[in-house]
Amino acid sequence: MDKKVTVIGAGNVGATTAQRLAEKELCDVVLIDIIEGFSKGKALDLAEAAPIEKHDAHLIGANKYEASTGSDIVIITAGITRKPGMSRDELISTNAKIVRDVTQQVTATSPDSILIVVSNPLDVMCHVAYQTSGLRKTRVIGMAGVLDSARFRAFISMELNVSVENTHAFVLGGHGDTMVPLPRYSTVAGIPITELLSKERIDALVERTANGGAEIVGLLKTQSAYYAPASAAVEMAESILKDKKKILPCAAYLEGEYGINGLFIGVPVKLGAKGVEEIIEISLRDEEKAALDKSADAVRDLLKKLKNSV
C-alpha cells in the first residue's frame, strides 16, 4: 500500500487501532511497543487473520523506531491507563514523559508525519507532543471530540431507539469531566434532539457522556475503554489518508479562535491530507461559551500541574 501509519503502544487501544486500520485497507501498519516481542506477536496474529478478513495490508511489529521511518501518520496510544477511581488528570506526569520520548523518536524517523494523540490526559499530551516535535500546529491533533461525540450519539440512539446512522452530535472542550456536549447541534435525521427529548433526559445523556470513560473503567475494573477510542482515531486517520476533509471535533491548537489562545482543546475542524486544514467556528450561546471557557481553564490548570511536576 502507498500509505503507512505507525501506532505507538500495542496495548488494547493500539492493537485495536492497528486492526481497524488494516481491515479497512487504509494503509500498511507498524505497531511499536517497548515490551520485547509484544508488538511482534500482535502484528503476526493480525497478519494471520488477513486471509479471513480479506485485506492485503502489511503489519509489522517492532521494538525500535526505525521500522516507523517514513510514516504518513503516527498515532500515539502509549501510556498508563486509568484504574477505577482515577481521573485522567492523575496520569499526567508519567504519561508526559512517555509521550515526550515517543514524540522525539518518531519525529526523528518521520519528520513529515501527522501526529494523532490518544494518550491521556489528552489535551495536555497534545501540548507535550506539539512542543517536543517542532511540527506545525496543523500536524498535531488530539483524539477527543470524535470519541466523546460517538458516545453521545450512542446514548441518543439508545434513548430514542433509532439507528446510530441517523444521529449526529457535537462535543467540544477538553477531554474530561468539563467537556461540552452541544444538544442543539446534535440531531437525529436532521432534527435537533431538543425537539425530541425533554431537558431532563438531555441533561442525563450529557452527564453520561461526560462520564462515559469512567463508566467503562468502573465496569472493566482493571482497564479502560479501547474499542471506541480506536475507532475514533481511525476515523481521523482515514479522513487524513483519503483527504476526505471531514468536519470532526478534535483537539486542535487555538490561536484566538473561540476567544481561546495558545491551547489545545476540542473544536470542530476540517481534517484532510495536511492535517487540520480549517478550524470551524460555530456560534455559541452565552451559557455554551461559558462552559467552553470553563473547560479551557481546566486544561490550563493541568498544564500548570505538568510544568510544576517537571
Strand residue runs (E) in the chain: 4-8, 28-32, 59-62, 73-76, 114-117, 140-142, 167-168, 171-172, 180-181, 187-188, 191-192, 246-255, 261-272, 275-279
The rounded distance, in Å, linking the Cα atoms of 23 and 192 is: 34
Res 3: pLDDT:
97
Q: How confident is the model at residue 83 (pLDDT cuts 50, 70, 90)?
A: low
* Assigned C-alpha cell, 62: 517492532
Res 61: pLDDT:
98
Q: How confident is the model at residue 67 (pLDDT cuts 50, 70, 90)?
A: very high
Res 116: pLDDT:
98
Q: Which of 137, 146, 198, 185 is nearest to 282 (CA)?
A: 185
Q: Which of 22, 133, 137, 27 is nearest to 76 (CA)?
A: 133
Res 176: pLDDT:
83
Residue 228, CA distances (Å) to 16, 131, 143 in order: 9, 28, 11
- Assess contact for 302 and 123: CB atoms under 8 A: yes
Res 54: pLDDT:
97
The rounded distance, in Å, linking the Cα atoms of 101 and 32 is: 13
* Beta bridge pairs of residue 247: 270
Res 93: pLDDT:
85
Q: How confident is the model at residue 226 (pLDDT cuts 50, 70, 90)?
A: very high
Res 80: pLDDT:
80
175 a catalytic residue: yes
Q: Which of 8, 238, 242, 227 is nearest to 110 (CA)?
A: 8
The rounded distance, in Å, linking the Cα atoms of 64 and 255 is: 36
Rounded to 5°, the CA angle 253-255-256 comes to 130
Three-class DSSP category at 114: strand
Q: Judging by beta carbons within 10 Å of its beta carbon (0-12, 13-18, 19+), is residue 193 exposed, middle or buried?
A: buried
Q: Residue for cell digits 450512542?
A: 154
Q: Work out the widest C-alpha separation in the chain, in whole angstroms.
A: 55
Structural domains for the chain: 4-142 (3.40.50.720), 145-309 (3.90.110.10)
Q: Which helix (H) or strand (E) holds 146?
A: helix 145-160
The rounded distance, in Å, linking the Cα atoms of 299 and 124 is: 7
* Residues across the chain: 310
- In this prediction, residues 79-103 reach a mean pLDDT of 80
Q: Which helix (H) or strand (E) holds 72?
A: none
Which of 55, 58, 127, 175 is labelled catalytic? 175
Three-class DSSP category at 293: helix
Q: How confident is the model at residue 308 (pLDDT cuts 50, 70, 90)?
A: confident
Q: How confident is the model at residue 85 (pLDDT cuts 50, 70, 90)?
A: low
The answer, yes or no, to whether residue 144 has pLDDT greater than 90, is no
- Assess contact for 10 and 32: CB atoms under 8 A: yes
Residue 58, CA distances (Å) to 67, 115, 137 in order: 13, 21, 30
The answer, yes or no, to whether residue 91 has pLDDT greater than 90, is no
Mean pLDDT of the residues in the chain:
94
